[in-house]
Amino acid sequence: MRKQIDATQRMPINMSHDWHKLFSPLRAESAPTFDVRQAVLQQIAQTPSRYSDEPILRWLMVASVTAASLVWAAVLPNLGKPSEPHVSYVALIESMDVSAEFYSAR
């Protein structure tokens, strides 16, 4: 890890200029814009319960992840899989990427 950080710091200045130049066509291109106002308002109108139940959902998710990681910590070593509890926890979070990342945004 240490070596890689040092290598990053040693990158010659002109190299970083080259990378910026390489990506200039993507920076220069025009992007489409969309009018999503109606669609967003419709979606919001359909999800009032999710909004009001949000703290409960968050607690439920945290509780279920904790419970699952405890179960995994107890069960996996017995199955002969060399897994640590935190590895199982991370794997579970990874598999739940939608909600986990959404909730970690707060």
Partner 1 sequence: MAVNNDDPGAACSDADDIAASLAGDHGAFARIVDRYQADVSRYLWRFTRNENDCEELTQTVFVEVFLSLASFSRKVVFWSWIKVIATRVGYRYWRRQTKSRKLGNVALHEASVMVQSSQNVVDQAVKNDEAGRLFAMLEELSPRDRLVLTLMYIEEQSVAEISAVTGWSQTLVKVQAFRARNKLKQMVERRDAEANRRDSKDAD
Site residues, partner 1 (CB under 8 A): 1, 4-5, 7-9, 11, 19-20, 22-23, 25-37, 39-41, 43-45, 47, 50-51, 54, 97-98, 101-102, 104-106
Shortest separation between residue 88's beta carbon and partner 1, angstroms: 19
User: 28 or 79: whose CB is closer to partner 1?
Assistant: 28
Residue of 87, 45, 92 lying closest to 68 (CA atoms): 92
Q: How far is the CB of 19 from partner 1 (least distance, A)?
A: 6
Q: DSSP labels for 24-72?
A: HHHHHS-------HHHHHHHHHH-HHHHHTHHHHHHHHHHHHHHHHHHH
Structure tokens at 29: 């291109």
Among residues 38 and 78, whose Cβ is nearest to partner 1?
38
